Amino acid sequence: MPARAYWKGQIRLALVAIPVEIYPATKSGAAIRFRQIHEPSGKPVKYEKVVPGIGPIDTGDIVKGYEMAKGQYVLLDEEEIEAVRLESKRTLELVQFADAGEIDILYYAKPYYVVPADDLAEEAYIVLREALKRTRKVGLGQLSVRGQEQLVALRPCGRGLILEVLRYADEVNKAANYFRDIGNARPDADLLDLAETLIDKKSGAFDAGDFHNHYVDALKRVIAKKAKAKGKRVLEDVEEPGPARGGSNVIDLMAALKASVDGKKTPAKKVPAKKPAARKRA
């Protein structure tokens, strides 16, 4: 278990208080980060605070500003910002419960593991976990962390509980803005049957370990080779994408789905090119 918890406090359900500790459930260890290096000297590049027309400035002269209009800012100092920060409460009160499938996936932002703080808290913790399982509900509340308030959902996960940080309504774009131009035509029944057959054929239990970030793997190989080559340039062989299909090739959807179900390559239906129009004589 990590040495430092993200949050320590208690979950309150009416008159019941459960001391808990919350730990991050995710990590960014898979990503590869690069530094900018000055090649002639081999030293990392640093960034200076620069004002257009003035040049480098002292960080002590920097304040925070909110842009009200183009080029117009409202300036705030740290005391004014601190004055509106919320007091870090050590209580997460579950004020509402909702069906587990009622919350749209767009609202889920980040998961955390919730564990009982001690042996005395374990009994109440298990009762809450099992009650959420039996009712198929998630508990909703607001968590005060670092001066800000987060909307969160609490749900059971195996032998424990997961706390999901949720986005607020004004942080999510409405899907209608993007999907309104999609037609309402009903799909062909035969095409739909073939698509369902293909889905059934490829269905299986999800295991994240079955998937790998091939880009990160290739980068790691290049970095390892470069380290052994002692600075010499190393090029990694990567699979080139196939030739792009031109406008004259049209894929027949029925043939593509049938070929996918049968495990064969999809034949392309070629459209005959139009004959050039005869030129008029002058």
Domain ranges of the chain: 7-25+86-171
SS3 percent helix, strand, coil of the chain, rounded to 5, is: 25, 30, 45
**Model pLDDT, residue 239:** 55
Separation between Cα atoms, residue 27 and residue 9, nearest integer Å: 23
Q: What does the pLDDT look like over 138-170, one tens digit per residue? A: 999 999 887 788 999 999 999 999 999 999 999
**Neighbouring residues of 62: CB distance < 8 A, sequence distance ≥ 6:** 49
Handedness of CA 107, 206, 155, 92 (dihedral sign): negative
Q: Is 247 helix (H, G, I), strand (E, B) or coil?
A: coil
**Model pLDDT, residue 281:** 47
Task: Please state, as a whole number, how many other Cβ atoms lie within 10 Å of the Cβ of residue 145.
Answer: 16
Strands (E), the chain: 7-13, 16-24, 37-38, 43-44, 50-51, 55-56, 64-69, 72-76, 91-93, 96-99, 108-116, 137-145, 148-157, 160-166, 249-250, 269-270
Does the model's pTM come out above 0.85?
A: no
Q: Which residues of the chain have pLDDT under 50?
A: 244, 246-250, 266, 268-276, 279-282
CATH architecture entry for 7-25+86-171:
Beta Barrel (2.40)
Helix axes 253-262, 189-201, angle to 10 degrees: 30
Task: Take residue 30 and report the two structure tokens written for it.
Answer: 């898979």
**Model pLDDT, residue 265:** 54
Separation between Cα atoms, residue 191 and residue 197, nearest integer Å: 10
Separation between Cα atoms, residue 143 and residue 163, nearest integer Å: 10
178 burial (CB, 10 Å; 0-12 / 13-18 / 19+) is: exposed
**Model pLDDT, residue 158:** 93
